[in-house]
Amino acid sequence: MIGIACLVPLCAMGQIMFERTYGGPDGDWAYRAEETSDGGYIIAGLTWSYGPGAEDVYLIKTDSAGDTVWTRGYGGPAGDWGWSVEQTSDGGYIITGLTWSFGAGAEDLYLIKTDSGGDTVWTRAHGGPDGDWGYSVEETNDGGYIVAGGTWSFGAGAEDVYLIKTDSGGDTVWTRTYGGAAGDWAYWVEETSDGGYIITGLTWSYGAGAEDVYLIKTDDVGDTMWTRTYGGAAGDWGWLVEETSDGGYIIGGLTWSYGAGAEDVYLIKTDDVGDTVWTRTYGGAAGDWGYWVEQTSDGGYIITGLTWSFGAGAEDIYLIKTDGFGHTVWTRTYGGAAGDWGWSVEETSDGGYIIAGLTWSYGAGAEDVYLIKTDANGLVQVTEGPQEIPRPASWHLGQNHPNPFGAATTITYALPDPQPVALAIYDIRGARVRNLVSGTVSPGQHQVVWDGRDGRGQSVASGIYFCSMEAGGLRETRRMVLLR
């Protein structure tokens, strides 16, 4: 049963299908899952339920049916996040994220190498005196690693794209920054067939809009070959890029400039030099976000994210299958009455899909890791459904998402019983910027959106802000990064 923790796995034509949640009494998030060489799955994210710090890197290994083989937490007494994981050629794992516990700066890019059982082989913190974040890591053909993220410590602008090449021991071979006088950020990097790298993210320095999708192609030592921006007059973000079978690239993200709703899933196909071949948007009248895209074995694409336009809950996991030209083949939503987000999707060896994200609808805590295995048509057949959504055991303030953010960010919190709540935004000097919640709130899971404005309705500047919540005589605080 789902405890509310799992659904019974079923097999159809050799394809295992299941839904699983993982985590403890507090919050637990997944950002990435991939199939491992033994047919199981590895999941990376962060946990407030376990580990020595305020939050810790969370790594979960499962078998092919989604049952837990082992879990690990990594980090120190402060906060540590895991954003990306990949199985390495030696059967172990490489993880990147960020750390407030170790390193030279306010926060540093965090790199963790483990063996096949999740035990630490080595860790590295990279960065300077300010903040530096890692979002994507991949083992390279020479046995080292390429890591992409953002830096406030180095570069030309307020923040810049940060690319680090390491050797097999995680020691720096070279670093590069990219961007202009404003802000620029990377969410994904992968090694390309010519031995160079392709990077995507967003830019405030270049392009037509408030922020634009940013694509950077480099050679094998990180020197820029070309850059491109995509988007319209409003905001447009790139979350993931992959080299396609024709030598071009596919970019997945979200757009405020185009589409049917407030924001829409954004898919961009380019040729080998980044010139646009076609673009597509997906979604309804409300908001729809795309986080992950992958080319599938049939030449089409699979996309995941979240949707406010469709589904059963406040927001639901959104899965879109397209043909090779981006035309929709089918769409699916997953989740319950509360919120559910999809962060990554991968085609599995049996032709189905594995989706990782988080759920407020099911599970043991304020929010839990959510893993869904579907068949080739995105279907999950289950024999037992979730029971009543439990109340959390104690109140909890979740991390805002997205973070960093541009236009708006969602803040989640949970209450075990009715009680007065004070939730406000503060700047780095401790001055109150805006009150978001003030008064008695009912029990359960709650969400509030901050649009980056102060109490007078004026847009605030880019920078570090804090969301602070007081309830039951206690206070919790989460750090947020606003990038305009």
pLDDT at 2: 31
Between these two residues, 89 and 480, which has the higher pLDDT value?
89
Longest dimension (CA), the chain: 60
- pLDDT of residue 439 exceeding 60, the answer is yes
Residue the block writes with tokens 């067939």: 193
Q: In this structure, what token pair is assigned to residue 255?
A: 């757009």
Between these two residues, 429 and 19, which has the higher pLDDT value?
19
Q: Mean pLDDT throughout 42-47?
A: 97
Q: Mean pLDDT throughout 186-192?
A: 98
- pLDDT of residue 406 exceeding 60, the answer is yes
- Distance in angstroms (rounded) separating the CA atoms of residues 329 and 318: 14
Q: Mean pLDDT throughout 132-152?
A: 98
pLDDT at 383: 41
Between these two residues, 313 and 195, which has the higher pLDDT value?
195
Asked whether the beta carbons of 42 and 88 are under 8 A apart, the reply is no
Between these two residues, 479 and 169, which has the higher pLDDT value?
169
CATH T-level topology, domain 12-374: Methylamine Dehydrogenase; Chain H (2.130.10)
Q: What is the DSSP string of 100-168?
A: SSSSSSSBEEEEEEE-TTS-EEEEEEE--SSBEEEEEEEE-TTS-EEEEEEESSSSSSSBEEEEEEE-T
Summarize pLDDT for 9-37 with one digit per residue, the tens: 555 556 789 999 999 988 899 999 999 99
CA angle at 138 for the pair 134 and 144, rounded to the nearest 5°: 105
Question: What is the separation of C-alpha 247 from the centre of its chain, rounded to a whole number of angstroms?
Answer: 26
What is this structure's pTM?
0.83
Domain ranges across the chain: 12-374, 396-482
Summarize pLDDT for 270-304 with one digit per residue, the tens: 999 999 999 999 999 988 999 999 999 999 999 99
124 burial type by CB count under 10 A (0-12 exposed, 13-18 middle, 19+ buried) = buried
Long-range contacts, 51-56 (Cβ 8 Å, 24+)? 51/75, 51/80, 52/76, 52/77, 53/77, 53/78, 53/79, 53/80, 53/101, 54/78, 54/79, 54/100, 55/27, 55/79, 55/80, 55/81, 55/399, 56/80
Residue the block writes with tokens 């009494």: 25
Asked whether the beta carbons of 241 and 276 are under 8 A apart, the reply is no
- pLDDT of residue 153 exceeding 70, the answer is yes
pLDDT-derived band of residue 162, with 50, 70 and 90 as boundaries?
very high
396-482 CATH, one of 3.90.226.10, 3.40.50.720, 1.10.150.20, 2.60.40.4070: 2.60.40.4070
Between these two residues, 418 and 217, which has the higher pLDDT value?
217
Backbone dihedral region of 260: left (phi > 0), alpha (psi from -120 to 50 degrees) or beta? alpha
pLDDT at 431: 80
pLDDT at 390: 47
pLDDT at 105: 84
pLDDT-derived band of residue 191, with 50, 70 and 90 as boundaries?
very high
Q: Which amino acid is at 436?
A: L
Pairing of strands 41-47, 28-35: antiparallel
Mean pLDDT lowest among 39-53, 351-365, 405-419: 405-419
- Distance in angstroms (rounded) separating the CA atoms of residues 98 and 455: 31
Between these two residues, 322 and 471, which has the higher pLDDT value?
322
pLDDT at 10: 56
pLDDT at 52: 86
Mean pLDDT lowest among 100-114, 141-155, 221-235, 405-419: 405-419
Mean pLDDT lowest among 302-306, 330-334, 443-447: 443-447
Mean pLDDT lowest among 126-130, 155-159, 347-351, 461-465: 461-465
Do domains 12-374 and 396-482 share one topology? The answer is: no
pLDDT at 399: 83
pLDDT at 365: 77
The mean predicted confidence, pLDDT, of the chain is 91
Where would I find the beta strands (DSSP E) of 48-79?
Answer: 56-62, 68-74
pLDDT at 464: 84
Residue the block writes with tokens 């750390």: 99
**What percentage of residues in the chain have a pLDDT greater than 90?**
71
Task: For the sheet with 10-12, list strands across it.
Answer: 10-12, 15-22, 368-374, 353-359, 340-347
Asked whether the beta carbons of 18 and 380 are under 8 A apart, the reply is yes
pLDDT at 385: 41
- pLDDT of residue 5 exceeding 50, the answer is no
Pairing of strands 474-482, 172-178: unpaired
